[in-house]
Structure 1
């Protein structure tokens, strides 16, 4: 029995009398809404689309049509502001990170209250780790996946990211954290509000705004038994580790990373830090902390911003620490004279070759001046080359 091909056509389509092959060609060229059914042996549309083009997969995927290839999409892409996709990407990326982490925290806290004890700090750490991985995949192509105000500031300082766009990114990141935290409350509102009501009825309203209280599910509060010195140290070390890992994965000359494994390496860094340091209260990300704290205030009141000393600590400590980590990696661990990791980062190869040649030329120029004048001479050629100052005046 022969295989009968079927095709989708409108009854009013003037091409109804054309052959099936003509229909396929025209549908692809004119972005017709429908498409022909798949050929024998082709994989159907879906997750199998990631298999197309792989050398180890000798199967093709049926060509997509629909809105993916519609005139509407083409027209929309021509009028859509380029910053819009970036801003939405940043908001969605932080949303993933915040929602997954706070939802895991809700499971841990609420189950402990109910006496069932589902979840643990391990679950929370994994949720934050996978949240940041999925967020990077979601936002990477559109915004660069900063997903962190401190990373955006570092991009401005060290990479020349437009300073005019930085506020848009930071606001979008905080908004994503706000929505993510609200969604956690939305899916757990009944047990959360019951827990809150029980504490208020027992005269323990202050317990609401603790790390184990209902407000503490989404907002961060000081850890019991820890001094501010402990919590500052905890925040500094955690932010420093994550900042170094992020910047190492942004190094296009690093042969140990690639665009494929960088999201997972960064996610693993979050997992290690959260799983080991969360009991001491740790924020790590201003967008997650500030966004979730505003969400907390929207539901539980302004007490979510108390104590103000800890609120400032959680929101701001990671910013200078991340800048320091990026500076340390840039000036002490990386070298612009190294060749690009051309196998894993081929899209950077040409620019990195130019940068490498420029760095080598500059290095040779500085060494030549140093040889001629001597490095020990105060105000010598090396000093003047670096600072841009003129030659010393003759006596």
Structure 2
């Protein structure tokens, strides 16, 4: 005998009430949105004339700037408040959350323009595993370093008075080297470790954090991953950054070559003493280990967790159809295998509208119309 609460309309395989509610259609009055007027002619002329690579570099620089500026700002707040005895202002949790929010904003604001690398290791990984043009790699890394350098200088400038006061007090007390340890003001800008720390464990900690980040980010970006919508990717990536920072930064956490090297250059400009800003062995670990970790993590995800035979999600197809400049498409030319491929020719730029990438009526692969610019 059927219970009163059973629903005869429910079909096998239907999602149950709960999170499935977000998929329900809502009825209500239509909402009218005023249409935007077309862009002014001067802007269209400017848009046609600007170099595409320059735009991407600006996006990479600004995204890395946001990441460094937001995270280091919170670190300075925490350090200065602690130095002044204000223990209720800031914490390691607030620093981790600031980096999380900063990378989220960077991805939302800039990823649609440049791809949202903000990290030399990911630029290299995208080139090796995803076909990112090799000719763009050095330009992207330069832009990332520049953004980190400027972001670090801005934080130093905004906290100049407090950082200078604390640094002068330590130097006057004969504790110059302490400035560049976790107990000193430079630790809010650059990655530091306590003198005498076992560098083997520092290397292992840095490698593991970046191995996990590489595997997780490539898993999030996998277009066959049914558990995440493309628009939710920035949020989950930000959560992953929050996890590694809050869990392992006490052991030293450079995480990002651009953030580490850019901040060290800014610290050298402000404090001087390059031998203390760039301690030889630790600097090599902090700058290079994250590249190795990300590459191994990304390779692990590609080799063991991804599968080109899985169907690409509808959300991923929609994102690809409207991707910036149409440089990605879906290749179904091999029966049973669906791949995301780069379609932008080397050496020239492509202008493609979202409507120019459409599914063929006979169910064939996605096609695009191209116009050289």
Q: Same fold (TM over 0.5)?
A: yes
Q: Deviation of residue 358 (structure 1)?
A: 5.9
Offset from partner CA, 1:295-328 (integer Å, 9 cap, x none): 0011011135332100110000011111111111
CA contact (8 A) 1:97 1:135 kept: yes
1:103 aligns with 2:73: yes
Correspondence 1:23-38 to 2 at 5 A: none
2-structure distance, mates of 1:213, 1:113: 9
Aligned to 2:257: 286
Q: 2:85 & 2:30 partners in 1: Cα distance?
A: 53
Does the residue aligned with 2:230 lie in a helix, a strand or coil? Answer: coil
Give the CA deviation at 1:134: 0.7
Q: Is the 8 A contact 1:133 1:263 kept in 2?
A: yes
Partner SS, residue 236 of structure 2: helix
- Asked whether the 8 Å contact 2:60–2:117 carries over to 1, the reply is yes
**Quick one: distance in 2 between partners of 1:60 and 1:283?**
49
Q: Residues 195-227 of structure 1, C-alpha deviation per residue, up to 9 Å, x if partnerless?
A: 011111111111111122122210111146741
- Partner SS for 1:252: coil
User: Would the aligned equivalents of 1:337 and 1:356 in 2 still touch at CA under 8 Å?
Assistant: no
Q: Does 1:273 align with 2:233?
A: no
Largest Rg, 1 or 2: 1
2:290 to 299, 305, 318: 318
Choose the corresponding residue for 1:143, options 114, 119, 138.
114
What is the alpha-carbon distance in structure 2 between the residues aligned to residue 315 and residue 245 of structure 1? 21
Match of 1:76 among 26, 46, 62: 46
SS where residue 337 of structure 1 aligns?
coil
> Any residues of structure 2 matched to 1:206-217 within 5 Å, and which?
206-217=177-188
CA distance 1:256–1:353, shift in 2 (3 Å): farther
Residues in 2 aligned to 1:257 and 1:304: alpha-carbon distance in whole angstroms:
44
Contact kept? 2:264, 2:278, Cα under 8 Å: no
Deviation, 1:348, is 4.0
1:162 paired with 2:133, answer yes
Query: TM-score, with normalisation over the residues of structure 1?
Result: 0.73
Secondary structure at the counterpart of residue 263 of structure 1: helix
> Aligned match of 1:229 in 178, 197, 200?
200
Instruction: Find the aligned partners of 2:205 and 2:28 in 1 and give their Cα distance.
Output: 46
Q: Does 1:333 align with 2:308?
A: no
SS of corresponding position for 1:219: coil
**Offset of residue 352 of structure 1:** 3.9
| Inter-partner Cα distance in structure 2 for 1:136 and 1:261 | 11
1:59 lines up with 2:31 in the alignment = yes
Contact 2:67 2:106 in 1 (8 A): yes
Instruction: Report the alpha carbon displacement of residue 343 of structure 1 after superposing the two structures with TM.
Output: 4.0
**SS at 2:110 equivalent:** helix
Counterpart of 1:165 in 2: which secondary structure? helix
- How far apart, CA to CA, are the structure 1 residues paired with 2:288 and 2:50? 34
Matches within 5 A, 1:1-395: 58-65=30-37, 69-117=39-87, 118-223=89-194, 226-301=197-272, 302-343=274-315, 345-348=317-320, 351-352=329-330, 354=332, 357=335, 359=337
Unaligned runs of 5+ in 1: 1-53, 361-395
Structure-2 change in CA distance of 1:343 and 1:166 (3 Å): closer
Quickly say closer, same or farther: Cα 1:209–1:227, change in 2 above 3 A: same
TM-score (norm 2): 0.77
Change in CA separation of 1:80 and 1:228 when aligned onto 2, cut-off 3 Å: same
For the 8 Å contact 1:93–1:139, the answer to whether it is kept is yes
Corresponding residue SS for 1:182: helix
Taking a change above 3 Å as real, the CA distance of residues 96 and 56 of structure 1, as seen in their structure-2 partners, is: farther
Give unmatched runs, 5+ long, in structure 2: 1-25, 322-327, 339-373
